[in-house]
Amino acid sequence: MEIRSAVVLAAGEGSRLRPLTRHRPKPMLPAATKPILEHVFDELIEAGVTDITVVVGYRRNRVQSHFGPTYRNVPITYVTQEKQLGSGHALLAAEEEVDGSVLVVNGDQLVDRQIIDDVATATDGADATLGLVQNDVEEYGGVILADGGEVTDIVEKPRDERSYRLNAGVYAFETSIFDAIRSASPCAGEQSLVDGIRELIDGDGEVHGVVSEGLWVDATYPWDLLRVADDLLAHESRVASQVSPSARIHDAATIVEPVVIERDCVVGPGAVVGPNVCLGENVTVGSNTVVEHSVVDADTRVGDNATLRDCVTGRGVTVGPGTTVVGGPGDVRIGDQVHQDEQLGAVLADRVHDEGGSTYAPGTIVGPEAVVRTGSAVRGTVDAETEVRS
């Protein structure tokens, strides 16, 4: 590992993860029980990075107040992308903080230190070195790699039959990347980092790729947070099954591993928590309640005799006694698209208040501050601050 400085791009909202991103950006959503961005910082530091610049934008106060000026004794410099005009535009916002070779990492995707190490040690004087993994590229960036490791093409959401590697969003750049971004023609008013890399490829720049076996995980839609937690729990080097010493688990409760139960949680008598459950800080699970395959964010209260399956909650949610989230699969509407047979029971965004005795159909999404009155049958998409009655 020779490059010690990193720029982390964390300015975007993550619009396809609404309503969970209404009050915080995608990098601050939970991967298991801690923000995605915190995982990114941990992996950078474990790989030897000693200086981090973070590009913030949407809801930037949520990032800055969480991390402050240092994280694990590594200084953090914040720069602001005032308008979200693309990943290239975001990197340009950090130009003054870069005076040599630099790692650039997406702050809203999970990558492990192996990918970072592989990129940092493979630069060999190239203008750009891209971390690549073997994965489905249909919704991401695909890279064509020559036998000698030279990148010959990079395509967003490719649809042809060529043999692509997935662009993992981990880069090593020389300062030539900044002029390349400026030289690239904006698309739909945005300056893309990929277009800047393509400008180097088409010009006289040297662009290499390195294929890594490291873990790469992304959350595109709300139900993906369940898959992210599953993947992390399956890789104990990233998130080990654990119960915080300060959590209070009743002797008559049952914990089915793997689980992560953070500090100050309370699990009542007769409750069953797990497998594949992540409880954030200060979550309460009532007596005789069942929680399976769910990500329950901080400060949430789940009442007695409730059932949560395939459920994602925001912060400060109240689930009343006797409420049932029956679990997926279900059809989920995101914007004007319907995603069929997704493994999702329900998404309950920040500060949803369920009074109890309600039933949630598979694929239900409830917006922030909605109130669900006692005994309601809830399905489809419920807008923020809406009152639901049976």
Tens digit of each residue's pLDDT, the chain (390 residues) = 578 889 999 999 988 899 999 999 999 999 999 999 999 999 999 999 999 999 999 999 999 999 999 999 999 999 999 888 888 899 999 988 898 889 999 999 999 899 999 998 887 778 899 999 888 777 778 888 788 788 888 887 878 778 888 889 999 999 999 989 998 877 777 788 888 888 898 888 888 988 888 889 888 899 999 999 998 898 866 677 799 999 999 999 999 999 999 999 999 999 999 999 999 999 999 999 999 999 999 999 999 999 999 999 999 999 999 999 999 898 898 877 888 999 999 999 999 999 999 999 999 999 999 999 999 999 999 999 999 987
| Statement to judge: residues 301 and 179 lie in one domain | no
- 0.85 exceeded by the pTM? yes
- Quote the pLDDT of residue 302: 98
| Statement to judge: residues 294 and 333 lie in one domain | yes
| Statement to judge: residues 102 and 151 lie in one domain | yes
| Statement to judge: residues 129 and 12 lie in one domain | yes
- Quote the pLDDT of residue 236: 67
| Statement to judge: residues 134 and 107 lie in one domain | yes
Domain count for the chain = 2
The answer to whether residue 226 is domain-embedded is no
Last residue of a domain, one of 156, 189, 218: 218
Question: Which residue segment(s) compose the domain that 192 sits in?
Answer: 5-218
Q: Which residue has the tokens 């369920």?
A: 354
| Statement to judge: residues 176 and 250 lie in one domain | no
| Statement to judge: residues 298 and 203 lie in one domain | no
Domain at 278, CATH number: 2.160.10.10
Closest CA to 194 of 163, 140, 156: 156
- Quote the pLDDT of residue 237: 61
Last residue of a domain, one of 192, 218, 244: 218
- Quote the pLDDT of residue 320: 97
The answer to whether residue 227 is domain-embedded is no
- Quote the pLDDT of residue 137: 72
The answer to whether residue 225 is domain-embedded is no
| Statement to judge: residues 23 and 102 lie in one domain | yes
| Statement to judge: residues 34 and 81 lie in one domain | yes
The answer to whether residue 370 is domain-embedded is yes
Domain at 104, CATH number: 3.90.550.10
Ramachandran quadrant class, 340 (left: phi over 0; alpha: psi -120 to 50; beta: rest): beta
The answer to whether residue 269 is domain-embedded is yes
The answer to whether residue 86 is domain-embedded is yes
| Statement to judge: residues 186 and 213 lie in one domain | yes
The 3-class secondary structure across the chain, one letter per residue, is CCCCEEEEEECCCCHHHCCCCCCCCHHHCEECCEEHHHHHHHHHHHCCCCEEEEEECCCHHHHHHHHCCEECCEEEEEEECCCCCCHHHHHHHCHHHCCCCEEEEECCEEECHHHHHHHHCCCCCCCEEEEEECCCCCCCEEEEECCCCEEEEEEECCCCCCCCEEEEEEEEECCHHHHHHHHCCCECCECCHHHHHHHHHHCCCCEEEEECCCCEEECCCCCHHHHHHHHHHHCCCCCCCEECCCCEECCCCEECCCEEECCCCEECCCCEECCCEEECCCCEECCCCEEECEEECCCCEECCCCEEECEEECCCCEECCCCEECCCCEEEEECCEEEEEECCCEEECCCCEECCCCEECCCEEECCCCEECCCCEECCEECCCCEECC
| Statement to judge: residues 245 and 324 lie in one domain | yes
| Statement to judge: residues 151 and 288 lie in one domain | no
What amino acid occupies position 38?
A: E
The answer to whether residue 144 is domain-embedded is yes
